[in-house]
Amino acid sequence: MAFTLFLLLVAALLALLPVWRLHVAGWPARWLALAWLAYGVAILFVLRFPLASRFLIPLLIVAFLAPFVAGPERLSRVLAVRRREPGVVIDVTPRPSPSLEDPATAEPPRSVEGEVLEDPEAGR
């Protein structure tokens, strides 16, 4: 009984790796749950029945690596999954203090006597 629970835990945790990558691709939560369940059952089946794993291991390897090889944008395009729009952007920049001058109406900086405004080497 304890060994079966251990295999179930290992299968569930291993199945989270490709499902996380599918989550990054923007898959809906229901599809993620179904993918996690399918990966978990397949991994558990391979661990529990070694004779059937001869045919299932190559399929499981391809299914396991596919989300990592294909980028998130490719996975979204293949299944025509709509990307979630980013949330509302809230501007939290504080407003300038009323005591500060408005840069549009401020006076230009005054020149100081003896200040060199142009580079004398630029004319050569």
Does residue 103 form part of some domain? no
What is the residue-averaged pLDDT of the chain? 77
> Who's near 113: CB < 8 A, 6+ residues apart?
none
pLDDT (average), residues 49-71: 82
User: Does a structural domain hold residue 32?
Assistant: yes
In a domain, 68, yes or no: yes
3-state helix, strand, coil in the chain (%, to 5): 55, 0, 45
By C-alpha distance, which of 63, 62, 75, 66 is closest to 28?
A: 75
With residue 81 as reference, give the H or E element that holds it. none
pLDDT value of position 91: 81
- Stretch 81-109: mean pLDDT: 70
pLDDT band at residue 16 using 50, 70 and 90 as cut-offs: confident
Range of the domain at 10: 2-78
Total structural domains within the chain: 1
